[in-house]
Structure 1
Amino acid sequence: MKFLSLSALLLLSGISFTKAQPVNKLNYVIKADSIKAHVQPTMYGIFFEDINMAADGGVYAELVKNRSFEFNDNLMGWAKQKKNGGNGTVTVVDRAKERPENPHYITLAVNTNSGYFGLSNEGFRGMGIKADETYNFSVFAHQHDITNPVKLAIELHDSTGVVIGRASLNPVGKEWKRYHVSFKATATTLKAQLYLWCSHKGSIDLDMVSLFPQHTWKNRPGGLRADLVQKLYDLHPGFLRFPGGCIVEGRDLANRYQWKKTIGDVDKRENIINRWNVEFKHRLTPDYYQTFGLGFMEYFMLAEDIGASPLPILNCGMACQYNTGQLVPLNQIDPYIQDALDLIEFANGSADTKWGRLRISLGHPKPFNLKLMGVGNEQWGEQYIERWKVFEKAIKQKYPYMQLVSSAGPDPSGPKFDYLNATLRGFNADILDEHYYRNPEWFLKNVKRYDDYDRKGSKIFAGEYAAQSGDIGSPKNKNNWECAMSEAAFMTGLERNADVVIMASYAPLLAKVDAWQWTPDLIWFDNLTSYGTPNYYVQQLYSVNKGTDVVPITLGGQAVTGQQGQFASAVLDKKTNELVIKVINTSKDKSTASFDITGVNGFKSEGLLTTLQSDDLDIQNSISKPEAIKPVTRNMKVSGKELSLELKPYSFNILRLKMAN
């Protein structure tokens, strides 16, 4: 007879047992009456750059690509169409001498008395169209022969060719005039196309062919895509940095961002090629241009809408040093400095000033209260310092209240960083902009990065950072939970050192699922929908729980910087009279945390616990599964000044406690 083991007998009887998961017991101490630093309202913000089709084809709600025929291939995005025996020709007309900022339009000639001839537009990887939404079509046009005018018909076709919306227009007169018509769509489709049909033999000139949904952010005509701006608003950002990154510099100076060309009438804003168009061989994007429909006025209004302080970054006379590295000679840099001074006047000036008067004429009487400005993006070396000194002197002389953000280079360490860090601190620079794109391990190991920084020296802007699951800038990088969790852990170090770090922003912000150049990114979208990544939720949780004052939280008498896989910070929120505790458990084991809190008389009976957690470090959100991982909030009973909390493996936990006093 064979004797079975106890475990085998239990299995046969239907009873099983699993190996007990280890439990770490942690004893945290929080001194709630010992304020170590004040948290700035600008602490957590957002960095916007037109990369990954974030603006045209993204936040800017225009659906027509190459609407003014200004791409290098003037008809890129357009295709000739004919039906019912119609025929004709399309001619691109050059008027650069009369309109250098908008040098092209088309003449569309119909050669037949019957049928239809025209063009279709493919949009930005298609056009996202929603059933029952109203769409506003407009076009600048003038007839060649007013006695025999060409008529226009507008249609939306879904991906199978079915018409899902239509309207008609009858332009009159031989002078350029904007015509518009609105119509409803009858179906929802991800990749529609716009068809513009002409009928009646004759010729007509067309420019600025445009289609917008009626429901944009705040329902502004020609405005921004509502769902994407809502996601920005939901981050509750302290600042909005714009318009980039590397597009500020340009591949060369001719391709740099010039703010004065991005305001006023949209048909007078000069289009340029987007510098990300050809940057990455693995993601060439030849149809990526900048129309500047999202220009500086729109950026300032967006910042105002979402409650963020504006932080514009201006070119300092240097093209991207990874590309041409072109330089403006110091004796020719005055126009660049004047652009900076004029921008401050545009944002803050009264009706008695030239640029303040222009802002008012554009519909914004109140100043934008601009207090921050960046001088250059990611420059380095002596040539940057030479130009920085000239900018700093001119701006501070006229506007001493301006706080200037200065480049600390593209890396968080090394010769470039060391030189800039030492030199700019020697000049008492206001704010140094540090960037770090590194693997998750780097973020965990560098949580104490700012512990030993000079408390009285230059402040820090963590201006661009994101954990990379692979190589820096690799197309294989993922927005997975491991990366997001490492960022959450790192941010405890930013928060603990809020007397040094006054601003921080993840980058890049937005990416279109079928038109991106760089990964990872905070928010992904297609033509109809969008989703936040695990990294998005980390940023959001820090922002809405930033509090007002840092208090010490320790484990074993030390700041919580990785002991047993734990990272933590704590703040008071004097606006709500709450203590906010953030604890990240990066361990594979669950932990039981007890909190000994001094300096308070006690807490109300219930706290609020929010947890972002997954046992799968590789989990990601997607268009099809937008909430595969998301924060979960529940009430938690609190008794007296001591409490205990179970920390799940791989979890980011935030506990808000209402103080009794």
Structure 2
Amino acid sequence: MNYKTVVFLLLCCSQSLFAQINFEVDVLNKGAAIQPDMYGVFFEDINFGADGGLYAELIKNRSFEFHQPFVGWLPFGNIAVKNEAPCFNRNPNYVRLNETGLRRGTGLENFGFRGIGFQKNDDYRFSFYARVVNDGDKKFVVELLGSKENVIGKGELTVSGNSWKKYTTTIKSGATDAKGKLRLILKTQGEVDLDHISMFPVETWKGRENGLRKDLVEALFELNPGVFRFPGGCIIEGNTLETRYQWKNSVGPVENRPLNENRWNYTFKHRFFPDYYQTYGMGFYEFFLLSEDLGAEPLPVISCGLACQYESEECVPVGDLKPYIDDAVDLIEFANGPLDSEWGKVRAEMGHPEPFNLKYLAIGNEQWGEGYVERLIPFLEVLRNKHPEIKIIGTSGPTPDGEKFDYLWPKMRELEVDLVDEHYYRSPEWFLANAARYDSYDRSGPKVFAGEYASHHKTRDNNLRAAISEAAFMTGLERNADVVQLATYAPLFAHVDAWQWKPDMIWFDNLNVVRTPNYYVQKMYACNAGTNVLPLTRDNEIVAGKDSLFASAVFDANTTELIVKVVNASDKPQEINILLKQLNQSVANTRVNISRLHANEPGAVNTIEAPNKLVPTSTYVLAHEKGFKLNALGNAFYVCRIKIKE
């Protein structure tokens, strides 16, 4: 190799290393409106997400209705399960304690959900329903135990009379322990019946007695979600039709909501969880209330008459669907109906006379085939007639492509559903390769609801690599806001000691919360959604993957700010010049506020021990006359905001 060749190669390398990339944003060409509910959350009771998670009840199997009534409990002394003359007709089991003077006494211990989490100096509201079988008052001692069997809190209750009554006391914890338990001891000789033994932290979200775990709801609130999809997911379908989620069982007095077997009591990998049930303590009323608290549009999903097609071929004959369709109509009445309607009255009696203003309803989860289509049709016929104001969501099946997908999309278009629910659990490479997925979608057909998606790294960890690939893919969702109108990551929650599926957006134990890098990507989008799409190009082409760079731009009419999102999915830093095309004034020295999610190691994760290893950081640059420069590190996601004049 001669001298001139070496010099030429060095110059080429130098130019390649330091070449500046130009992105152009057409500031005046405001495009599609971005729906205010575009970015949201999807809740399903998987990974102990409800009982043992978001629902703040600390006692497992509080009404002794599990298939094995003492699951979660350690009885000692003389105790039997009864169901004659019960306190609650839909939860008929209760326990009878007979104290005869044994040395240890008679009572129960409950281990909660992989332990009970106690915080030092926090108060806990303990309650049960009780009646005396024979005469006389009966004294109970209630103990909060630490993981070393040490008593860290204590209270007393005295039961009298042979009619069922509720008894309540508040107990303060003297220590912090994530693996505690509850002990209840009958101290007086004689027989007493107990039911619905319950304990909540006094400090729940908004202080509600049948409340939600405050720190987990706070994590949701910070996401600024626009839509809240609930309660599933596959639990809508059930392993059988009998175990499908029935919303009417989840409203009314919490003590009389019947138990249901959870679809996720075992998984595709056959991890068995015999103690995983749904108490419905957090039911449809609580879901609607939480949606309202979060400022999110409620989006309930209901059964279409098909059990989970992965698990069963059980289905309701099309001619027998009337009860299922009636449930859909009644649900709309429960959410929106007047006080003198049957289900509007139920809502009001539960504490919410005002309507919840339901706008969306999904029929089925991720069903497929002719069986789904022929069942969807009668739902549509009735709902279009009775409630044309409700937007109906159909499905394209469990995958983002393939035979099921290709069959369902034309059918959904033919039936003129309002939105089609697409699900994609794929590798980071798939998400990067599909950032332009919606650029070529039909603009005149039904809109897209990206109802369940998550990047599945080969480790299935919630690592930065997965989060960055999702951020890149979401530039395509945002760029095509005229087609994609809703998007929710899935699943939402996972208990570190009781999970069936990963990755998940938020991990937790009995005392702590971990926000994943994926969580921060969702937050950065939802808190910077804007109101209108703006064209962003590189060399007159859409920025969707060249040099592993991805970008989108929006305008926020509320703040008159330009918001540019940039993803560098490579390991190599890139110097990017963002030019504001058709800008009528200089923005020289205008502050550009920048949020950045980055780590040098793509496999980095947040954990219980190090929950803040990966969090967004804030900085700023000053703009030049027609834009600003962004030195984009590798493995990084940026959100840049600059104030402009319209």
Q: Separation in 1 of the partners of 2:525 and 2:540?
A: 25
- Percent identical: 47
Deviations 1:6-52 (A, max 9, x none): xxxxxxxxxxxxx9994452111110111221100111100000000
Equivalent in 182, 203, 222 of residue 170 of structure 2: 182
Contact 2:266 2:500 in 1 (8 A): no
Report 1:292-441 matches (<5 A): 292-441=280-429
Q: CA deviation at 1:159?
A: 0.6
Q: What does residue 58 of structure 1 align with?
A: 53
Contact 2:556 2:562 in 1 (8 A): yes
Q: Decide whether aligned partners of structure 1 residues 400 and 606 sit closer, same or farther in structure 2, where only a CA change above 3 A counts.
A: same
Q: CA deviation at 1:96?
A: 9.0
Q: What does residue 11 of structure 1 align with?
A: none
Counterpart of 1:640, as a letter, is E
Counterpart of 1:452, as a letter, is S
Q: Separation in 1 of the partners of 2:616 and 2:366?
A: 34
**The residue matched to 1:276 in structure 2 has which SS?**
helix
1:92 equivalenced with 2:87 (yes/no) = no
Counterpart of 2:35, as a letter, is Q
Contact 1:283 1:516 in 2 (8 A): no
Contact 1:115 1:199 in 2 (8 A): no
Counterpart of 1:309, as a letter, is E
Q: What does residue 103 of structure 1 align with?
A: 92
Q: What does residue 114 of structure 2 align with?
A: 125
Q: Separation in 1 of the partners of 2:15 and 2:170?
A: 65
Counterpart of 2:45, as a letter, is D
Q: Separation in 1 of the partners of 2:586 and 2:32?
A: 23
**The residue matched to 2:521 in structure 1 has which SS?**
helix
Counterpart of 1:630, as a letter, is V
Counterpart of 1:625, as a letter, is A
Q: What does residue 614 of structure 1 align with?
A: 599
Q: Separation in 2 of the partners of 1:97 and 1:393?
A: 43
Q: Separation in 1 of the partners of 2:618 and 2:16?
A: 24
Q: CA deviation at 1:278?
A: 2.1
Contact 2:115 2:180 in 1 (8 A): yes
Q: CA deviation at 1:477?
A: 1.0
Q: CA deviation at 1:396?
A: 1.1
Counterpart of 2:108, as a letter, is L
Q: Separation in 1 of the partners of 2:380 and 2:55?
A: 33
Contact 1:24 1:589 in 2 (8 A): no
Counterpart of 1:621, as a letter, is N
Q: Separation in 2 of the partners of 1:616 and 1:56?
A: 35
Counterpart of 2:492, as a letter, is L
Equivalent in 530, 544, 548 of residue 565 of structure 1: 548
Q: CA deviation at 1:279?
A: 2.6
Q: What does residue 594 of structure 1 align with?
A: 577
Deviations 1:425-452 (A, max 9, x none): 1122210000000001101111111111
Q: Decide whether aligned partners of structure 1 residues 68 and 592 sit closer, same or farther in structure 2, where only a CA change above 3 A counts.
A: same
Counterpart of 2:395, as a letter, is S
Q: CA deviation at 1:605?
A: 2.0
Q: CA deviation at 1:80?
A: 2.4
Q: What does residue 5 of structure 2 align with?
A: none
Q: CA deviation at 1:634?
A: 1.6
1:39 equivalenced with 2:28 (yes/no) = no
**TM-score of the two chains, using structure 1 as the length reference:** 0.94
Q: Separation in 1 of the partners of 2:148 and 2:88?
A: 39
Q: What does residue 187 of structure 2 align with?
A: 199
Q: Separation in 2 of the partners of 1:253 and 1:143?
A: 39
Q: Separation in 2 of the partners of 1:188 and 1:119?
A: 22
**The residue matched to 2:59 in structure 1 has which SS?**
coil
1:289 equivalenced with 2:274 (yes/no) = no
Deviations 1:564-594 (A, max 9, x none): 1110000000011100000101121111111
Query: What is the total number of aligned residue pairs between the two structures?
Result: 631
Contact 1:467 1:486 in 2 (8 A): yes
Q: What does residue 241 of structure 1 align with?
A: 229
Contact 2:87 2:195 in 1 (8 A): no
Q: What does residue 15 of structure 1 align with?
A: none
Range that drifts further, 436-445 or 323-332: 323-332
Contact 2:79 2:106 in 1 (8 A): no
1:503 equivalenced with 2:492 (yes/no) = no
Q: What does residue 575 of structure 1 align with?
A: 558
Range that drifts further, 382-391 or 604-613: 604-613
Counterpart of 1:154, as a letter, is V
Q: CA deviation at 1:100?
A: 4.6
Q: Separation in 1 of the partners of 2:87 and 2:553?
A: 62
Q: CA deviation at 1:599?
A: 3.1
Q: Separation in 2 of the partners of 1:466 and 1:48?
A: 14
1:477 equivalenced with 2:460 (yes/no) = yes
Q: What does residue 9 of structure 2 align with?
A: none
Counterpart of 2:618, as a letter, is T
Q: CA deviation at 1:150?
A: 2.5
Q: Separation in 2 of the partners of 1:481 and 1:649?
A: 11
Q: Separation in 1 of the partners of 2:444 and 2:386?
A: 25
**The residue matched to 1:450 in structure 2 has which SS?**
helix
Contact 1:47 1:242 in 2 (8 A): yes
Q: Separation in 2 of the partners of 1:509 and 1:556?
A: 39
Q: What does residue 498 of structure 2 align with?
A: 515
Contact 1:113 1:200 in 2 (8 A): no
Q: Separation in 2 of the partners of 1:483 and 1:95?
A: 54
Equivalent in 463, 472, 485 of residue 489 of structure 1: 472
Counterpart of 1:632, as a letter, is T
Q: CA deviation at 1:283?
A: 2.4
Contact 1:347 1:368 in 2 (8 A): yes
**The residue matched to 2:478 in structure 1 has which SS?**
helix
1:173 equivalenced with 2:177 (yes/no) = no
Range that drifts further, 21-30 or 360-369: 21-30
For structure 1, list consecutive stretches of 5 or more residues without a partner in the other structure.
1-18, 82-87, 471-475
Q: What does residue 7 of structure 1 align with?
A: none
Deviations 1:522-557 (A, max 9, x none): 000000010110000000000001100000110111
Q: What does residue 467 of structure 1 align with?
A: 455
1:163 equivalenced with 2:158 (yes/no) = no
Contact 2:86 2:94 in 1 (8 A): no
Q: Separation in 2 of the partners of 1:638 and 1:125?
A: 53
Contact 1:22 1:590 in 2 (8 A): no
Contact 2:335 2:357 in 1 (8 A): yes
1:651 equivalenced with 2:639 (yes/no) = no
Runs of 4+ in 1 over 6 A off after TM superposition: none
Counterpart of 2:83, as a letter, is D
Q: CA deviation at 1:163?
A: 0.3
Q: What does residue 645 of structure 2 align with?
A: 660
Q: Separation in 2 of the partners of 1:530 and 1:130?
A: 14
Counterpart of 1:409, as a letter, is G
Equivalent in 235, 260, 274 of residue 272 of structure 1: 260
Contact 2:465 2:603 in 1 (8 A): yes
Q: Separation in 1 of the partners of 2:19 and 2:135?
A: 84
**The residue matched to 2:290 in structure 1 has which SS?**
helix
Q: What does residue 618 of structure 2 align with?
A: 633
**The residue matched to 1:38 in structure 2 has which SS?**
coil
Deviations 1:234-280 (A, max 9, x none): 11001000000000000000000000000111111000111111234
Counterpart of 2:79, as a letter, is V
**TM-score of the two chains, using structure 2 as the length reference:** 0.96
Contact 2:464 2:604 in 1 (8 A): yes
Q: Separation in 2 of the partners of 1:402 and 1:320?
A: 25
Q: Separation in 1 of the partners of 2:644 and 2:320?
A: 59
Q: CA deviation at 1:116?
A: 2.6
Range that drifts further, 323-332 or 221-230: 323-332
Q: What does residue 444 of structure 2 align with?
A: 456
Alpha-carbon RMSD across the aligned residues, in angstroms, is: 1.5
Contact 1:602 1:659 in 2 (8 A): no
1:529 equivalenced with 2:529 (yes/no) = no
Q: Decide whether aligned partners of structure 1 residues 616 and 112 sit closer, same or farther in structure 2, where only a CA change above 3 A counts.
A: same
Counterpart of 1:34, as a letter, is N
